[in-house]
Amino acid sequence: MSAVFAFDKSCSKRGIHLKESFRKLIAFSHFESLSPTRHPKPSCGTPAALSNDVPSTGHKEILVKSFPHSRLTRLAAALALATTAAGANAATTWYVATTGNDASPGTLAAPWKTINHAAQVATAGDTVDVRAGTYKEYVTVANSGSASAGYITFQNYAGESPIVDGTGVSCCGGNGSIRGLFNILGKSYVKVSGFEIRNFKSTTNTNEPAGIYVTGSGSYIQILNNKVHDIVTTAEGNNGNAHGIGIYGTAATPYSYVTLSGNEVYNNKTGWSETITLDGNVTNFTVTNNVVHDNDNIGIDAAGWWGMGPSGHDQTMIGTISGNTVYNITSVNNAAYAGSMGADAIYCDGCTQVTIERNLVHNADIGIEAASEISGHVASAVTIRDNLVYDTGLVDITIGGYDSTVGGSDSITVVNNTLYQSASAQGNGFQVQYKATNNVFKNNVVYISNGGSFLYYFTSLKTTPVAMDDNLYYATTNPSWVWKNKGYSSLSSFASASAQDAHSKYADPLFLNLAGHDFHVLGNSPAVGAGTNLGASVVGATDFAGNPRVVGAIDIGGYEQ
């Protein structure tokens, strides 16, 4: 028996029933936030009654009334009325500054004081420019943009860095309510860009803080270039939850065309919940070029089958998770996990038709996983390609349900990834668990320096849970494959027993700089030109670095030359 058997690799993560019940609670509790809180108080709690002083339409007339009657402002008033009369499609740029006043006209010279005031006034096509400074409030976007008039955009004033800070903002309405520092509740064509969003905390399991919270149904949401951090539940040992960025499709009409790009999401303590979550009826999404690190639960999660959406509309689907850097993701200090590792850097938990490509993942409990935790369901039609994954606590890439009683994985294609475990890392390369069908592992480099396994397949329930070939394996000590809970110490013995990896190789891939984690290979590497081109729809257009994926004969691993 190799060292691999010294670890408990059964990956029995999460209190499944507990988590499911909480998800359902979330699905019902969003009604609190869906109420039209047009004029919320700075502190949370029961939504404020609607007030009539700032209606969501006709705001320009309101501004006219508030002007002092100097000659200059009468002129401005006339212009404002003319703008209103000309139609609602005139795009306006509004300004917010910590020195402002919500009774001001919202101009650069006379800005508003709160972002939330701007969020009540701005309509389709408008832009809200927020000056530098710290805004201790939460923001609920009152209106939608449109395809014809454009987005409602909330952004940093050029060259400045506004901060939305939850310090002193009480959270969040009770009864399991989620509230974000930014809330987009059933709105469409909304963009949030260039904010630091931080320090929103709850000490109870009945209040769930979020950095950015999107729920209901809608389309065209863009969350760009924000820093979201220190969103925390201190009730992790008591079923508390918090959310960095949460996109929840809760209706038969999806939340669609959702883009999360260029955000840094870090130092969050989220209990049973994830750092970035898309769950329920979410379609046509893109999560790209984000940096997600130092969080105590899953980094990026595309989820389904949890009851977040209505029956038949309960899967996150048709999307791309690409170009993200995800690291330092572990649940060992999350009391919900009672000291165990179980946090994925990137997780398709019941998603379908999703591509996970060109991500850099390291120092996570689990690198990338595609499976379902819900009995009778699967993650399906997921392509995991051109990723670099190294130094994980359990495994770099895994498929199949974590227990015989949960769901599984169907048609997961894992191609052209480079996996590495250094001597100090604890994990394996690949893992196959329960209920895995029609899956493919091909053209991957797997390099193991810790005595772990290239493949850890510990059940014997499926004859062929995965088709494997054209992989390049290398171990600095004790090469090991585990197939149907039996260990093999040579590629030939493994290939013979499994009827897999007939054309795979066992050789040093000759990384350019292993200590520096540069997984390019030298020109004379056995990876060069040694893969099988499975077609553009499978191997994609580019390699990890964004260079053409196929140059001459396709290479094995994340890089092409």
Residue ranges binding Ca ion (CB under 5 A)? 529, 551-552, 555
Residue 107 structure tokens: 């101009």
Q: How far is the CB of 491 from Ca ion (least distance, A)?
A: 22
Query: Which C-beta is closer to Ca ion: that of 68 or that of 552?
Result: 552
What is the Cα–Cα distance from 249 to 244, expressed in whole angstroms? 16
Please spell the DSSP secondary structure of 105-158, one letter per residue.
---SSS-BS-HHHHHHH--TT-EEEE-SEEE-S-EE-----BTTTB-EEEEEPT
Collapsing DSSP states into helix, strand and coil, what is residue 302?
strand
Nearer to Ca ion, 535 or 552 (CB): 552
Q: Check if the beta carbon of residue 470 is closer than 8 Å to that of residue 500.
A: no
Residue 24 CB neighbour total at 10 angstroms? 14
Shortest CB 446 distance to Ca ion, Å: 19
State in Å, rounded, how far the first CA of the chain is from the last one.
Answer: 38
- Least distance to Ca ion from the beta carbon of 112, Å? 57
CB nearer Ca ion, residue 163 or residue 528? 528
Nearest to 195 by CA among 150, 135, 246, 242: 135
Q: Is the Cβ of residue 422 or residue 542 nearer to Ca ion in the bound state?
A: 542
- Contact, 468 vs 500, CB < 8 A? yes
Q: Which is nearer to Ca ion, 271 or 540 (CB)?
A: 540
Using CA atoms, how far apart are residues 529 and 552, in angstroms rounded to an integer? 7
Q: How far is the CB of 228 from Ca ion (least distance, A)?
A: 39
Using CA atoms, how far apart are residues 178 and 196, in angstroms rounded to an integer?
A: 19
Neighbouring residues of 4: CB distance < 8 A, sequence distance ≥ 6: 428, 451, 452, 453, 456, 480, 482, 487
Residue type, 256: S
Determine the Cα–Cα distance for residues 34 and 143; give it in Å rounded to an integer.
13
Residue 530 Cβ vs Ca ion, minimum distance, rounded to whole Å: 9
DSSP per position, 375-435: TT-EEEEEEEES-EEE--SSEEEEESBSSTTS-EEEEEEEES-EEEE-TT---EEEEE-BS
Nearer to Ca ion, 187 or 549 (CB): 549
Pick between residue 14 and residue 549 the one whose CB is nearest to Ca ion.
Answer: 549
Residue pair 141/190 in contact (Cβ under 8 Å)? The answer is yes
Q: 203, 171 in Cβ contact below 8 A?
A: no
192 strand-pairing partners: 154, 223
Closest approach of Ca ion to the CB of residue 557, in Å:
11
19: amino acid identity, one letter: K
Q: Assess contact for 304 and 338: CB atoms under 8 A.
A: no
Burial 174-189 (b: 16+ CB within 10 A, else e): eebbbbbbbbbbbbbb
**Least Cβ distance, residue 533 to Ca ion (angstroms):** 10
Task: Kindly tell me which of 103 and 551 has the beta carbon lying closer to Ca ion.
Answer: 551
Smallest separation, CB 416 to Ca ion (Å)? 11
CB of 519 to Ca ion, least distance (A): 15
What DSSP designation does 555 have? P
- Of 312 and 523, nearer to Ca ion (C-beta) is 523
Minimum CB separation from Ca ion for residue 361, in Å?
Answer: 24
CB of 555 to Ca ion, least distance (A): 4
CB 534 within 8 A of CB 415: yes
Q: Which is nearer to Ca ion, 90 or 550 (CB)?
A: 550
CB of 554 to Ca ion, least distance (A): 6
**Residue closer to Ca ion (CB basis): 68 or 548:** 548
Nearer to Ca ion, 288 or 443 (CB): 443
